[in-house]
Copies of this chain bind each other. A is one copy, B any other.
């Protein structure tokens, strides 16, 4: 692939891909950047520019073939395969993740789960046997996984993340409320509803003082 593609662009592609999957399910054959943009709250120019990093998928005067573009995006993002994930932390949050039905249909499956507590080690949750986190490194040496999910308390999250990195994991989904450090080449995304709430309150506060 040629030059560096902005990370914001990569983050928008799954949004496009999802919208296209919806359109496909509805039986739509063609969509314009205009219409797609309206659905997603993005400008048409944004969509066209984003797609142009990867090729020319549209037909002038017509728009984009939904199925074709959908498949292209899925391929670009690597969504046309299955990704194996390891979960660290099987407390209430981790258990909810194991039971969550939203990953599998998208090709993401948890294949290993670890915890430090004897209360859960050995139990089978969501079809996965919970193992002792002390066996993590050894186990991951045998059974390669692609992605790590961190659902441990904040106090030990960085330590767990360091271990995952040592195991060669290159992508981490972090549910722990910390600003985790990872070396270059390792990708990390945080899922942190409290942070989302805490930035929205800024605007709520302003509104109370002014209008409304």
- If over half of A's interface residues share one DSSP class (helix, strand or loop), that class is named, otherwise mixed; here it is helix
Contact of A189 with B179 in the complex, beta carbons under 8 Å: no
Residues A27-59 near B (CB distance < 8 A):
39-41
**B-facing residues in A155-210 (Cβ within 8 Å):** 170-171, 173, 177, 179, 181, 185, 187, 189, 191, 193-207
Q: How far is the CA of A79 from the CA of B200 in the complex (A)?
A: 10
Does A90 sit at the interface, judged by CB under 8 A? no
Cα(A100)–Cα(B102), bound, Å: 19
Cross-chain pairs A/B with CB under 8 angstroms, 23 sampled: A1-B206, A11-B199, A14-B194, A14-B199, A15-B179, A15-B195, A41-B179, A78-B204, A83-B197, A92-B96, A93-B96, A102-B193, A103-B193, A106-B198, A108-B194, A147-B197, A147-B204, A170-B203, A170-B207, A173-B193, A173-B196, A189-B197, A191-B193
List A residues at the B interface (Cβ < 8 Å): 1, 10-11, 13-15, 17-19, 39-41, 76-79, 83, 92-93, 96, 99-103, 106, 108, 146-147, 170-171, 173, 177, 179, 181, 185, 187, 189, 191, 193-207, 212
